[in-house]
A and B are shown apart, each in its own frame.
Chain A
Amino acid sequence: MLESIIQSLQYIKPEAALTATFLCAILADLIFKKKEITAAVVIAGILVTAVYVFQQVGERASVFSRMLAVDPFAIFFKFLILLSALIIVFFSLFSNEVNNNKRRIGEYYSLLVAMVIGMFFMVGASNLLMMYLSLELTSISSYLLAGITKEARDSAEASLKYVIYGALSSGLMLYGISIVYGLTGALDIYSVNSVLAQGGTNTITLLIAGALIVAGFGYKISAVPFHFWTPDVYEGAPVSITAFLSVASKAAGFAMLMRFSKVVFIDSSVLSLPAGMWATIHGVVWTDILIILSVITMTLGNLVAIWQDNVKRLLAYSSIAHAGYMLLGLVVLGNDGFAATMIYFVMYLFMNLGAFYVVMLVANKTGSEDIETYKGLGSRAPLLSVSMTIFLLSLTGIPPTAGFVGKLYIFAALINAKLIWLAVIGVINSVISLYYYVRIFRNMFLRDAEGEQAPLTFHFAHTFLLLVLVVPTLALGLYFGPLVEFAQYSVAMFGVK
Chain B
Amino acid sequence: MIPLNFYLILSAFMFCVGVLGVLVRRNAIVVFMCIELMLNSVNLSLIAFSSYLGDPTGQMLVFFVMTVAAAEAAVGLAIIIALFRNKQTVNIDEINILKW
Contact = CB atoms under 8 A, between A and B. Distances in A.
Contacts of A181: 46, 49-50, 57-58, 61
Contacts of A172: 19, 38
Contacts of B35: 164, 167-168, 171
A182 interface: yes
Nearest to A236: B98
A156 B72 contact: no
Nearest to B72: A167
27 contacts: A132-B61, A132-B64, A132-B68, A133-B64, A143-B76, A151-B86, A153-B86, A159-B79, A159-B82, A160-B76, A160-B79, A160-B95, A164-B22, A171-B35, A171-B39, A175-B15, A175-B38, A175-B41, A175-B45, A178-B46, A181-B46, A181-B50, A181-B57, A182-B52, A187-B61, A231-B100, A304-B100
B79 A143 contact: yes
A150 interface: yes
Interface residues of A, number: 41
Given A160-B95, A236-B98, 16 more contacts: A129-B57, A132-B61, A132-B65, A132-B68, A140-B71, A140-B75, A151-B86, A156-B82, A156-B83, A164-B35, A171-B35, A171-B39, A177-B61, A181-B57, A182-B53, A187-B61
Interface string A172-193: 1011011101100111000000
Contacts of A136: 68, 71-72
Interface of A: 128-129, 132-133, 136, 140, 143-144, 147, 150-151, 153-154, 156-161, 163-164, 167-168, 171-172, 174-175, 177-179, 181-182, 185-187, 231-232, 235-236, 304, 307
Q: Is the interface of B mostly helix, strand, loop or mixed?
A: helix
Interface in B55-100: 55, 57-58, 60-61, 64-65, 68, 71-72, 75-76, 78-80, 82-83, 86-87, 95, 97-100
Contact of A153 (B32, B49, B79, B97): B97
A62 B31 CA distance: 39
A157 B83 contact: yes
Interface string B1-29: 00000001000000100110010000010
A393 B93 CA distance: 38
Q: Contact size class for B?
A: 35 or more
B79 A163 contact: yes
A154 B95 contact: no
Contact of A167 (B52, B58, B76, B95): B76
